[in-house]
Amino acid sequence: MDKSAETKFSLYQQWGMLPELALEAHDLLRGDRGGEIPGVRLTEEVEDIATVHTVTVLNSQGSRIMQKPEGIYVTIHCKELAVNHHGILESVSNLVTKHLKKFITLSSLEAPVLVAGLGNWKSTPDALGPRVISQLMATRHLYGKVPDEILEGVRPVATIAPGVLGMTGIESADIIRSAAKQIKPELILVIDALAAGDISRIGTTIQISNTGISPGAGVGNQRSGINKETMGVPVISIGIPTVVKARIIAHQVLESFWEQLHQRPQLSRMLKELPEPTVRNLMQYALEPCQHNMEVTPKEIDDLVQNCSTIIARAITRTLHPDMNEDFAANFF
């Protein structure tokens, strides 16, 4: 592991800028020189339309270094999630389905699942979760009311969009937990908009994980954890970065510029004589216009959220109801 990368990682942590995507945390830790991180495994698959990385946090050592719970984090990277093209949308949705299926083991087709869409539907960059929910059709209540043959291949699914603490006065985690007590699902699926650690991640990345949502994650902040410990059943999370701190954008450019300067032979020696804290201070000063809590989102955010919620809603439906009657399925898509 790269020593200076580790320093930078702890600096980012101090600044409240640690990436929410496990893959970004991993990249940050490895720095430029690469190398293995103890207790963490990374694999890569190249698909037609996407590159898929799997970060596995294997043990408590990996968890401590990465500042992420033990578990599996699949990151699907695909150039253009924000493009309004039904063919692309369908291909990405199928790819997400393929990877989501690997995360899900349920005792039978009768095992109920609860899908929770986190976030604030009144704020476009945070509306991914509620939008997915509004595109899903719940099926749990149909049992006993609709002929059995129609429900062949259909799992009992309930959905909830708990809103955000600032609007409801109730923690999302509390609402989901109490709904789960009613429904007794075998699994909870949580969808959330994430803050990226790099502007290039926005509109290009979907993360699926079996670790649920950690405290403090998400576009809105200070959330309680939604995971196996707090919910009592496995929690699979699907997250899509929609915002990034302006400070992160600028800091990356500063770092890159700083590196460039070092490559000028005449300058390199003198720059290296500057003490690390001095450099940090100079950068901090330059970064001041980018206030710590200022997060930005691309101008195309409406299309991005719309397309991503369609992709995710379809992938969830295909995953949870694998053999649905085709005619019944036409009510969904």
**Hunting for tokens 């970065």 — which residue is that?**
241
CB 195, CB 149: distance < 8 Å: no
Total residues found in the chain within this entry: 333
**Hunting for tokens 């969808």 — which residue is that?**
191
Amino acid code (one letter) for 27:
D
Residue 26 vs 314, nearer CB to a second copy: 314
Site for a second copy in 178-207 (CB under 8 A): 178-179, 181-183, 198-200
Of residues 107, 148, 256, 275, which one binds a second copy by CB under 8 A? 256
Of residues 13, 260, 292, 322, which one binds a second copy by CB under 8 A? 260
Q: How is residue 160 written in tokens?
A: 């909830």
Residue 37-56 contact track with a second copy, rule CB under 8 A, x = bound: --------------------
Residue 4 phi, psi (nearest 5): -65, -30
Please tell me the distance from the alpha carbon of residue 260 to that of residue 239, in angstroms, as a whole number: 34
Residue 58 vs 175, nearer CB to a second copy: 175
Of residues 20, 24, 27, 126, which one binds a second copy by CB under 8 A? 126
Interface stretch with a second copy, choices 43-51, 68-76, 82-90, 100-108 (CB under 8 A): 82-90
206 has which bridge partners?
A: 76
CB 68, CB 79: distance < 8 Å: no
How many other CB atoms are found less than 10 A from the CB of residue 259? 10
Residue 47 vs 300, nearer CB to a second copy: 300
Query: Which SS3 state, helix, strand or coil, does residue 163 take?
Result: coil
Does 175 bind a second copy (CB under 8 A)? Our answer is yes
Site for a second copy in 138-167 (CB under 8 A): 138-142, 156-161, 163, 165-167
Instruction: State the number of binding residues for a second copy (CB under 8 A).
Output: 83
Query: Please, what sign has the CA dihedral across residues 73, 78, 83, 87?
Result: negative
Query: Which SS3 state, helix, strand or coil, does residue 87 take?
Result: helix
Does 313 bind a second copy (CB under 8 A)? Our answer is no
CB 122, CB 164: distance < 8 Å: no
Terminal alpha carbon distance of the chain: 47
Does 224 bind a second copy (CB under 8 A)? Our answer is no
Half-sphere exposure of 189 (CA within 13 A, CB side): 29
> Cβ of residue 33: shortest distance to a second copy, in angstroms?
20
> Cβ of residue 48: shortest distance to a second copy, in angstroms?
15
> Cβ of residue 14: shortest distance to a second copy, in angstroms?
19
Residue 135 vs 211, nearer CB to a second copy: 135
CB 120, CB 131: distance < 8 Å: no
Does 123 bind a second copy (CB under 8 A)? Our answer is yes
Residue 63 vs 91, nearer CB to a second copy: 91
Of residues 66, 301, 312, 316, which one binds a second copy by CB under 8 A? 301
245 has which bridge partners?
A: 295
Residue 156 vs 212, nearer CB to a second copy: 156
**Hunting for tokens 């995953």 — which residue is that?**
319
Please tell me the distance from the alpha carbon of residue 183 to that of residue 192, in angstroms, as a whole number: 21
Of residues 11, 58, 109, 290, which one binds a second copy by CB under 8 A? 290
Residue 61 vs 200, nearer CB to a second copy: 200
Of residues 33, 282, 322, 323, which one binds a second copy by CB under 8 A? 282
